[in-house]
Amino acid sequence: MKIKSRKKSRLHEIWQQLKKNRLAVVALFIIILLILVALFASFIAPYPYSQQNAKLSNAPPSAEHLLGNDKLGRDILSRLIYGSQQSLSMGVIAVAIAATLGILLGAVAGYFGGWVDSLCMRLLDIYQAIPMFLLSVALAAIMGPSLRNAIIALGIGTVPGFARIMRASVLTVREKEYIEAARAINAGNGRIIVKHIIPNAIGPLIVQITMGIGGCVLAGSALSFIGLGVQPPIPEWGALISDARSVMRQYPTQALYPGICVMVSVLACNLLGDGLRDALDPRLKN
C-alpha cells in the first residue's frame, strides 16, 4: 500500500512538471486521441475499410465521403481510421519487444560487468554495425512480408539503443546501498536484477520508449510502403501512401492524408518525449 502511494506521487510529480510544457500536453492529448481512434475504429469509421464502389472510383470529397474515395472506390477516411490500428500497433508492439530485450540485456550487462558486460557490448557492436533500417528490411523480407514479421523485424532492429541506455543507467544504480542490502540478505542475482535494478534504472528509458514508438511508426510505414509490412486490402498508413502512388499525378491528395497521419503521430511522440525528458531532468526541477 505504502509503495503504491509513493509511486503515485512520483507520477504526479512528473505530471506537474510536464503540465508546464504546453506543447507536450497537446502532444499527449493527440496521442490519447489517436489511441482512442484506433481502439474504436469500427464505431467511428463511416464505412468498412474494404467496401468497394466502382462508381465512386477516385471520387472527390462529398458529404457521404468526407475525404473522397480511392481508385477502387473505397472510402479514404474509413481506411485512414482503420489504418491507425495497424500503424500504431506496429510502433507500440515493436517498441515493447525492443524495450524488453534491451532492458534485460542492458541490466544483465551492467549488473554483472566484467566479461559478461564485454561480451554483451561486443555483440551490440556487431548489431549496430548494420544500419538499423537495412537490418529491419532484410529481416522482414527474409521472414516474408506480413504485419507480424514487420513488427518483429522493427523490434529486433531497435534493441541496441535501449540496451545501451539501460546499461549506462544500471551502472549508476549498481553500487547503491540498497543493492548491497539486498545482497546482504542473500537475495539471488535474478531477484536483485528484476526487483531492484530494473525498477530503479528504468527512468531514463521512458523518454527513449516514447520517441521509439514514433520512430517505429515511421520505420513501419516505410516497410509497408515497400510492400514488406501490412498486406492489402488491410489499410496501413504507409501502404496507403504506396497505393496512392499510382494515381499521384491526377489525385495527389490521396497520398497527402496518410502522410499527414504518420507525421502527426510521430511528431506527437517526439514532442511528448522532449517534454518528458525535461520533466524527468532533476536539473530543471523546482
Partner 1 sequence: MARYIGKRLLLLIPVLLGIALVVMIIIDITPGDPARMMLGAQATQEQVDALRDQLGLNDPLPVRYVRYIWNVVRGDFGTSLMSKRPVISEMMERFPYTVKLVTLGTAFSILIGIPLGIFAATHQRTWKDNTVIFISLIAASMPSFWFALLLIRFFGVKLRWLPISGVETWQGWVLPCAAMALGLAALIARQVRSDMLEVIRQDYITTARAKGLSEGKVIYRHALKNAMIPVIMVIGGIFGSSLGGSLITEVIYSIPGLGQYIMTGLNNRDYPIIQSGILIISTMFAVIILIVDVVFALVDPRIRLQYARKRKGKGEKQSEDKESKEVAAS
- Rounded Cα distance between 98 and 211, Å, is 13
Position 13 contacts partner 1 (CB under 8 A): no
Choice between 47 and 254, CB closer to partner 1: 254
Position 73 contacts partner 1 (CB under 8 A): no
Residue 67 C-beta: closest distance to partner 1, Å: 17
Q: Which three cell numbers stand for residue 97?
A: 519487444
Residue 226 C-beta: closest distance to partner 1, Å: 6
- Binding flags for partner 1, 165-194, as an x/- string (CB under 8 A): x--x--------------------------
Residue 41 C-beta: closest distance to partner 1, Å: 21
Q: Are 109 and 165 in contact (CB under 8 A)?
A: no
How many chain residues bind partner 1 (CB under 8 A)? Answer: 47
Position 161 contacts partner 1 (CB under 8 A): yes
- Rounded Cα distance between 278 and 119, Å, is 34
Position 281 contacts partner 1 (CB under 8 A): no
Which of 91, 121, 120, 116 lies closest to 209 in space, CA to CA?
Answer: 91
Choice between 44 and 277, CB closer to partner 1: 277
Position 248 contacts partner 1 (CB under 8 A): yes
Residue 205 C-beta: closest distance to partner 1, Å: 11
What's the farthest any 2 CA atoms get from each other in the chain?
76
3-state secondary structure of 80: helix
Q: Are 192 and 111 in contact (CB under 8 A)?
A: yes
Number of H helices, E strands in the chain: 14, 0
Return phi, psi of residue 75, to 5°. -70, 120
Q: Are 270 and 214 in contact (CB under 8 A)?
A: yes
Of 84-143, which residues contact partner 1 (CB under 8 A)? Answer: 122-123, 125-127, 129-135, 137-139, 141-143
Which of 9, 1, 16, 30 lies closest to 272 in space, CA to CA?
Answer: 30
Residue 170 C-beta: closest distance to partner 1, Å: 12
The amino acid sitting at 1 is M
Interface pick for partner 1 out of 103, 221, 230, 239 (rule CB under 8 A): 221
Position 159 contacts partner 1 (CB under 8 A): no
241 Cβ contact list (under 8 Å, min separation 6): 221, 225, 255, 258, 259
Residue 218 C-beta: closest distance to partner 1, Å: 6
The amino acid sitting at 173 is V
- Rounded Cα distance between 192 and 123, Å, is 24
Position 273 contacts partner 1 (CB under 8 A): no
Position 25 contacts partner 1 (CB under 8 A): no
Residue 210 C-beta: closest distance to partner 1, Å: 13
- Which residues form the interface with partner 1 (CB under 8 A)? 122-123, 125-127, 129-135, 137-139, 141-144, 160-161, 164-165, 168, 214, 218, 221-222, 225-226, 238, 241, 245, 248-249, 252, 255-256, 258-259, 262-264, 266-267, 270-271
